[in-house]
Amino acid sequence: MELIRLLVVDDHTLFRRGLIALLSQDERFQVTGQAGDIGEALRCVAQASPDLVLLDNHLPGVLGVDGIASLKAAAPGVRILMLTVSENENDLAAALQAGADGYLLKTVELDHLAEFIIKVLAGESVISPEMMTKLVTAFRSKSASPEPLALASTEPAALPETPAEMAGQPARAGIDLLSAREREVLALIALGDSNKVIGRKLDIAETTVKIHVQHILRKLQLTSRVQAAVVAAGLEAV
């Protein structure tokens, strides 16, 4: 099996080294480089050709979110997974707008981090459950306010300007195709609940929740639960 090449970018040396040591214990991963700022990260990307970059936001000089475009330009096809302490919804929205493939808090468990890395490489967008509600809130605020949300200048790769705009696309037409149970699941996705939590709230098996999520994404013509959460917000905004 071909190893997944990772680049870890974080200015806190102890955290960076500890994370590398833990990731190196997983036989699926190979940490091919590490960096403490964007400049160093760009050099590492050119030399190591990673499959995925774990990127902190609060870096010296250039913020992580402001370096996403340069990293993707230097290594077309590389995935960017933010790993940060920032719970600020503007940082989250800016990262997604700039092209990040996911946004995780540093409180994430290592086994969950490994799962998220695999999902991102499979083309999914991932966000820490704690941040999902803030994402929806940020887009709701943008829909309701004449003042634009403070976002990066780059156009979003997967998300539209507002949840109302997303709801106006094929997703809105597909909402009528959802069953009552699927609508319940969609509402809980918008709250940031995991499949396990949704199953507990609705008194159904986690595997059943996964099937409902798959049906929701297919009917709404979406690719991730992140988009589904924003659609749910858009339906309330229109």
The pLDDT value recorded for residue 68 is 94
Same domain, 186 and 97: no
Q: What is the pLDDT of residues 185-211, one digit of tens each?
A: 988 887 777 788 899 999 999 899 989
Same domain, 84 and 199: no
Same domain, 82 and 67: yes
Same domain, 19 and 114: yes
The pLDDT value recorded for residue 165 is 45
The C-alpha angle 67, 71, 75, rounded to 5 degrees, equals 175
The pLDDT value recorded for residue 144 is 52
The pLDDT value recorded for residue 51 is 96
Largest CA distance in the chain: 52
Same domain, 80 and 176: no
Compute CA 25 distance to the chain's CA centroid, rounded to the nearest angstrom. 24
The pLDDT value recorded for residue 45 is 93
Same domain, 15 and 91: yes
The pLDDT value recorded for residue 109 is 86
pTM exceeding 0.95: no
Q: How many structural domains comprise the chain?
A: 2
Residue at which a domain ends, from 98, 127, 156: 127
Same domain, 45 and 76: yes
Residue at which a domain ends, from 69, 97, 127: 127
Give me the domain span that covers residue 222: 131-237
Closest CA relative to residue 134, chosen from 172, 101, 87: 87
Query: With a cut of 50, which residues of the chain have pLDDT below it?
Result: 146-168, 237-238
